[in-house]
Amino acid sequence: MKVLWVHNYLHPNKGRFRNPILNSLQSLNCSIEQYELANSRNLFSLLKDILIINKISKKYDLVHAQFGSTTLLASLLSSKPLVVTLRGSDLLICKRLCWHLLYSLCASSITRLCILLRSPRVVVMSIDMKTKINGIDQDKISIIPDPIDTEGLNAVSLQQNSDGNMANIRHLTSDFKVIFGSLQKSSPIKRYYLAKEAVDLANYLSSRQITLKCIENVDRKEFLHALVESDCLILTSLYEGWPNIVKEAIYLGIPVVALSVSDLEIWSRHIEMLYVCKDKIEIAQTLSHLVCAKTFPPLQNNHVNLTSTINRDKYIWEDPNRCASLLLEVYKRSTT
């Protein structure tokens, strides 16, 4: 099977989540070729891309638009079967932000209109996302979360572990380090201000200093090092599809304290170190509890040796081959 993937990830730090499932699909004899949109915010450039995709798609079995509104719009005229993956932001209708209100309304409207016009197979990240899609047969919507790069995470953890046993000492003697669950500190959807308010409140409740760090403008490897060195991840987003940063923290054994977005509340019933809270006060109380808990991972250093992963079954996002097999089934259903 030959598939054309349509992307709009020109920045090297974006779209990295596609690599694990891409490699697994190719190992299943699914030939993938990629087309990057030149400039998704330029109307003339987008029109050019639409014409090119319409022309070149004829030699493929199907077209897979990889990220909602723009790539779906660019693929709309293709005569081949169409699959679209939605990762969260293109279904968000924001009700209390000015610029993001306009942007989210446009993106969400384009996505929903294109789905109604073409009725493609749709891949979403979570149950929560599936419930937000109307006007299409629910049987045509598949839940396949993006797999994480477990090999890259293992490499970073092993490197951290090779530095000796200083990590245990650091966790016992230094501040309790909380990392913000986004690379976008200024985004009103990610709500860094809310995370800061929760951490400030937690410091009143804890005898140990709690510090909040947001990693911006760094490459992938540097960010993973910062994640491994953290004691906890905090997520205060207004809306998420199924954030990879949460999956990565869970894989590394790093506790996650989050507001209820996506399917996190459902997964918190099965994942011991995923704490879902209703507001910033509960986040602060949870952080304070984690600092004081005798069984808390820093005393065991389990997010460096990955014992939490070794001693349990893999979650679906930790198995790219399983995700690829599910996506291949979607492809087969689209072409029959």
| Domain CATH for 21 | 3.40.50.2000
Distances (CA, A) of 1 to 20, 22, 23, 32, 234: 19, 14, 15, 8, 41
- The neighbour count for residue 180, using CB atoms within 10 Å, is 24
Distance of CA 72 to the CA centre of its chain: 19
Please give the pLDDT value at position 13: 52
- 300 in the same domain as 162: yes
- 126 in the same domain as 194: no
Please give the pLDDT value at position 11: 54
What percent of the chain has pLDDT above 90? Answer: 34
Q: Which tens digit of pLDDT belongs to each residue from 243-282?
A: 889 999 999 889 999 999 989 999 998 888 899 999 999 9
**Scanning the structure block, which residue is given the tokens 């809270």?**
277
Please give the pLDDT value at position 57: 92
Domain count, the chain: 2
Which residues are 7's β-sheet partners?
A: 36
- 40 in the same domain as 58: yes
- Asked whether the predicted pLDDT for residue 123 surpasses 70, the reply is yes
Specify the range with the lowest mean pLDDT, choosing from 106-115, 194-203, 282-291: 106-115
Mean pLDDT along residues 60-80: 87
Please give the pLDDT value at position 174: 73
* Mean pLDDT over the full length of the chain: 81
HSE of 41 in the Cβ direction (CA atoms, 13 Å)? 3
Residue spans of alpha helices (H) in the chain: 18-27, 43-56, 68-74, 98-118, 127-131, 150-162, 166-173, 192-205, 220-228, 244-252, 264-267, 280-292, 302-305, 307-310, 320-334
- 330 in the same domain as 233: no
Angle, helices 244-252 vs 150-162, to 10°: value is 40
Which phi and psi angles does 5 have, rounded to 5°?
-95, 125
Write down the pTM of the prediction: 0.83
Contact predicate 96/105, CB 8 Å? no
DSSP of 225-291, one letter per residue? Answer: HHHHT-SEEEE--S--S--HHHHHHHHHT--EEEES-TTHHHHTTT-TTEEEESSHHHHHHHHHHHH
- 188 in the same domain as 115: no
Please give the pLDDT value at position 112: 75
Please give the pLDDT value at position 53: 92
- Asked whether the predicted pLDDT for residue 4 surpasses 90, the reply is yes
Nearest of 326, 20, 24 to residue 149 by alpha carbon: 20
pLDDT band for 302, please (50, 70, 90 cuts): very low
Please give the pLDDT value at position 325: 94
- Asked whether the predicted pLDDT for residue 69 surpasses 90, the reply is no
Which phi and psi angles does 154 have, rounded to 5°?
-60, -40
What the block records as the tokens of 326 is 């599910």
Mean pLDDT along residues 195-200: 94
- Asked whether the predicted pLDDT for residue 316 surpasses 70, the reply is yes
Round to whole Å and give the CA distance between 76 and 124: 18
- 177 in the same domain as 309: yes
SS3 55: helix
Q: Which tens digit of pLDDT belongs to each residue from 171-181?
A: 555 789 999 98
- 121 in the same domain as 47: yes
Residues 6+ apart with CB under 8 A from 308: 253, 273, 297, 302
- 295 in the same domain as 279: yes
Please give the pLDDT value at position 100: 57
Please give the pLDDT value at position 181: 87
Please give the pLDDT value at position 179: 93
- 290 in the same domain as 158: yes
- 256 in the same domain as 137: no
Specify the range with the lowest mean pLDDT, choosing from 59-73, 138-152, 153-167, 295-309: 295-309
Round to whole Å and give the CA distance between 102 and 94: 8
- 310 in the same domain as 173: yes
Structural domain range at position 127: 2-147+319-334
SS3 177: strand
Please give the pLDDT value at position 96: 56
- 123 in the same domain as 225: no
Round to whole Å and give the CA distance between 279 and 288: 14
- Asked whether the predicted pLDDT for residue 164 surpasses 60, the reply is no
